[in-house]
Amino acid sequence: MPENETDETTSVPAQRVCGTMPVHRRLLTEDLSYAMARDAVENRAFAFEQGFETPSRTGVTVIPVVVHVVHHTAEQDISEEQIVSQIDVLNQDYRMLNPDVSNVPRVWQPLVADSRIEFRLAAQDPDGRPTTGITRTSTATDTFGMDDAIKFTSNGGQDAWPADQYLNFWVAPRLEDPTVGEILGYAQFPGGPAATDGVVIAHSFVGTTGTARAPFDLGRTATHEVGHWLNLFHIWGDDGQGCSGSDFVADTPNAGGPNFGRPTFPSLSCHNAPDGDMFVNYMDYTDDAGMFMFTQGQVARMDATLEGPRSSFLKGEGA
């Protein structure tokens, strides 16, 4: 790149934007089998969240991860150190070991939950050969959208590894959509096509070092998107600024839209005084430094996912 040319792929949106719900709505209209699968997933999640079914998995579930680095420039071909820093953040956040969990307001501290899920870079590829758990693909495409093109080698991306054995994690040069603008990442809810299953995050928002850019440089974009992959919704229920949406989790307060930046407690909406929105939740839209927790109800949904559509990970395949 010429010395004075700006690399637009290093820009940072002023606010967190996630593309998961537009992808979800697209799949609902394109694929009847997805809509039917989602009904079954949600019925199971409701049963777990209401206590009609209880989790049978024991100990910690380890999920093998393959990171597909799709890069347009040398800078975007992020280092193994940056990737490992992201895996470390996921393991802290999902095991309730993140040092900043102490910043959860006192009223919600009893709700903070350990999901008993850990993530490891895959040690074996689909053919049983040793692997670092990282693939690297040079692409002529500098910006991908939410059409899943990055998930196919034929479209300048990289094909997925078997979705029942690996969490496919694509690192993109840049993500943008004409209707949404620049986004940090997106995920596919359980129940979708195997060929596109996984999460996608732009390189500037992966991990805690290298090309990671503030205020999204603490690895929480992946924590958020993997939450969607495990069937968590945004805490305000994705109804715009209304008060009728739901994330189908009883212990996350009803909220009237996303919170951005670094709110102070309490942040009130939807007649939810005195405690207000749970803006410290990983499934809100705050900056990385402002999100610290999953709740017990959210973990119940993860349990339902791991004992339902993602039950193959209980067998330890691909580790």
Over the stretch 121-174, which tens digit does the pLDDT of each residue have?
A: 999 999 999 999 999 999 999 999 999 999 999 999 999 999 999 999 999 999
CA angle, 94 then 199 then 118, to 5°: 25
Residues 271 and 95: their CA atoms lie apart, in Å, by 32
pLDDT beyond 50 at 34: yes
pLDDT at 268: 95
Buried residues in 32-58 as b, exposed as e (16+ CB within 10 A): eebeebbeebbebbeebbeeebeeeee
Residues with Cβ within 8 Å of 89's Cβ and at least 6 positions away in sequence, in order, are 98, 207, 208, 218, 219, 220, 222, 223
Look at strands 134-138 and 185-187 and give their pairing.
unpaired
Residues 317 and 165 sit within 8 Å (Cβ to Cβ): yes
Whether the Cβ atoms of residue 133 and residue 87 lie closer than 8 Å to each other: no
pTM given for the model: 0.95
Least confident range from 136-140, 177-181, 210-214: namely: 177-181
Options 49, 176, 225, 307, the catalytic residue: 225
The mean of the pLDDT values for the chain is 94
Q: What is the pLDDT of residue 5?
A: 35
Closest by alpha carbon to 301, among 245, 229, 243? 229
Kindly report the length of the chain: 319
- Nearest CA to 251 among 109, 44, 39? 109
pLDDT the model gives residue 317: 39
- Nearest in space to 261 (alpha carbons), one of 289, 292, 232: 289
DSSP H helices in the chain: 20-30, 32-49, 80-94, 220-229, 296-306
For the residues 3-26, what does the mean pLDDT come to? 76
CB-based contact 319:123 (threshold 8 Å): yes
For the cut 60, the answer to whether the pLDDT of residue 309 exceeds it is yes
**CB proximity list for 145: less than 8 A, separation 6 or greater:** 175, 176, 177, 178
Contacts of 35 (CB under 8 A, 6+ apart): 28
Radius of gyration of the chain (CA): 19
CATH level 3 topology of 13-315? Collagenase (Catalytic Domain) (3.40.390)
- Asked whether the beta carbons of 301 and 45 are under 8 A apart, the reply is yes
Percent of the chain with pLDDT over 90: 89
Does the annotation count 225 as an active-site position?
Answer: yes
Domain-wise residue ranges, the chain: 13-315
Tell me the pLDDT tens digit for each residue of 68-114. 999 999 999 999 999 999 999 999 999 999 999 999 999 999 999 99
Statement: residue 66 has pLDDT above 60: yes
Reported confidence tier of residue 316, pLDDT bands at 50, 70, 90: low
Cα–Cα dist 5/1, whole Å: 7
Within 13 A of 206's CA, how many CA atoms are on the CB side?
31
Return d(Cα 234, Cα 240) in angstroms, integer: 11
Output the furthest CA–CA distance in the chain (Å, rounded). Answer: 62
> CA–CA separation, 315 vs 41, rounded Å?
20
- pLDDT for 278-295, tens place per residue? 999 999 999 999 999 999
Nearest 10 degrees: CA dihedral of 178, 235, 199, 138?
40
Q: Which letter does DSSP use for residue 279 in this model?
A: T
